[in-house]
Structure 1
Amino acid sequence: MQTIPGATPPSGAGGSTIGNLAAANLDQLAAAVKRSLKKTRYRPHLIDGCLIDTGLTLTS
């Protein structure tokens, strides 16, 4: 996998993101998405921030 030169990840996102990924095939893209989702799982503040911007809340 390679990244697009000059592309910058969104603020708050760490190092390697799918936003600047140039996947060679669908399998690489699927693996990158899966990896990103796993990382997001351990960062509930990211999800909370997205919900706050929409006015929605998450209840359990």
Structure 2
Amino acid sequence: MPTGSKNKRSTTKGIRFPHELIEEINASVAQEKAEDPDANFSAWVLDACNQKLAAPKRDKPVKP
């Protein structure tokens, strides 16, 4: 069962990120804020997820 709060449009999930990745994302968000004052961590992660889902699927090599 998922953890977190749920409303009609979204569900909150707790995810662990490596510290280094958080720092890189925060730096990217800070750069984006120059062009878009509404840029934030959550929006950045949602955009990254949507890009990954929209990318062409690649066949994964079969392990012996």
TM-score of the aligned structures, taking structure 2 as reference length: 0.32
Higher alpha-carbon Rg: 2
Q: Which has the higher helix share?
A: 1
Larger RCO, structures 1/2 (Cα 8 Å, 6+ apart): 1
